[in-house]
A = this chain, B = another copy of it.
Amino acid sequence: MEFNTLETPALMLDLDRLKANAQRMLKHCMDNGLFLRPHLKTSKSIDVANIATGGRRRGLTVSTLAEAEHFAKAGYEDILYAVGITPNKFDRVQSIFDKTGEKSVLVLDSLEMAIAVAESGLDNRVLVEIDCGESRGGLSPDDPALLLIARRLGAQFDGIMSHAGHSYSTDQIAVVKEIAKAEIGASVQAANKIRAAGIPVSVVSIGSTPTVFYADDFSGITEVRAGIYLFNDLSQYGRNICHLDDIAMTVLATVIGHNREAGVLTVDAGALAMSKDIGANNFLPEAKYGWLCDAHTLEPIGLAIDVVHQEHGSVKIDEPRKFDQLPIGSMVRILPGHACLTAAGGYGKFHLTNGKIWPRLDGW
């Protein structure tokens, strides 16, 4: 495609890479007898959901009610809103899930919210969140509240979910495997405790891209959730979860200035276009705010965005010839540090490398 006709910054999607990433996970889950409930929080896109689910049009994970509403309107059913529900969101949940055939799924981790949901009139299914070591949301699998919640929810209680977000605290696959084992162990332990009290548990759901890819034994798990595998980024690459040429999302940017005296080249991709996420640097210190690549071949050219301002990305240049290789007005594509936050910069759409445009949602 003719990149130089696009206004920048633009969010680019390489469809071949996206499809290959989606297919790899679909096959992995089929091989392991797992229901894949892909997380759409990164793309917030119907077109991406269609690829991620293999055209199934049911069974998604989302992070906002705006996403749930968006996918429900597009005909998706069985949508899991994977953030703890509270009463100020009940009205919207009601309005969204009226649109779907198969009722969608809420998450909670307290008796207070179980009572609130049970008394609300909402008839959505509910998963109870278990903390498998991340220390974010969730109950301990041996918390006595677990049984009280399941009993209070009655027929709405559908099962257990857990998320090992701490699988990103390492670049060692052996450690990821231990975290996956703990995630699965805590979830199955909680499910079995509830079953032992005579309450059926349909769903035992775990997920994070690293633990889904690298768990050795999924016994007792019915479904997995993952999302970033669709796009990948320097955070995944630095943690050995993907190869560099698995990164499907990039930012197209224009060189807007040469400050030769200061040794700084400026691109029009700053803090909003790239995000200020520097988590990739934990295991890839040279990641900075993203790597500059040839706009057509996507080969890294050995430069990074070193500093971001709102709309300016500053690239340190140590050899004058590099200014000449990137004249003002020329374009680069940038591999993002963290695709989820880069996509949320406010673009409103993906430009596919085949010229098509796919809309994406923002906000709540």
State the A residues within 8 Å of B (CB).
Answer: 4-9, 41, 63-65, 83-89, 92, 109-110, 112-113, 116, 129, 131, 135-140, 143, 165, 254-259, 261-262, 264, 266, 268, 271-273, 275-278, 307, 309-312, 314, 327-329, 331, 340-341, 344-348, 362-364
Expressed in whole angstroms, the Cα–Cα distance for A292 and B30 within the complex equals 45
B262 touches A84 (CB 8 A): no
Q: Chain A contact residues: over half helix, strand or loop, or mixed?
A: loop
Closest 8 CB pairs of A and B: A135-B262, A346-B362, A346-B363, A84-B256, A276-B276, A137-B257, A63-B311, A86-B329
B92 touches A7 (CB 8 A): yes
A347 touches B329 (CB 8 A): no
A261 touches B131 (CB 8 A): yes
* Chain B neighbourhood of A7, CB < 8 A: 65, 88-89, 92, 364
The contact sample of 8 A-B pairs, CB cut-off 8 A, is A7-B364, A83-B256, A84-B256, A136-B259, A137-B257, A272-B341, A276-B278, A346-B364
* Chain B neighbourhood of A264, CB < 8 A: 135-136
B310 touches A340 (CB 8 A): yes
B261 touches A310 (CB 8 A): no
Q: A266-B137, A275-B276, A347-B364 given as contacts; is B113 within 8 A of A328 (CB)?
A: yes
Apart from A136-B259, A137-B266, A346-B364, what 13 extra A-B contacts exist at CB < 8 Å? Answer: A7-B89, A41-B311, A84-B268, A86-B255, A86-B268, A129-B257, A131-B259, A136-B264, A137-B257, A137-B312, A138-B257, A140-B261, A346-B346
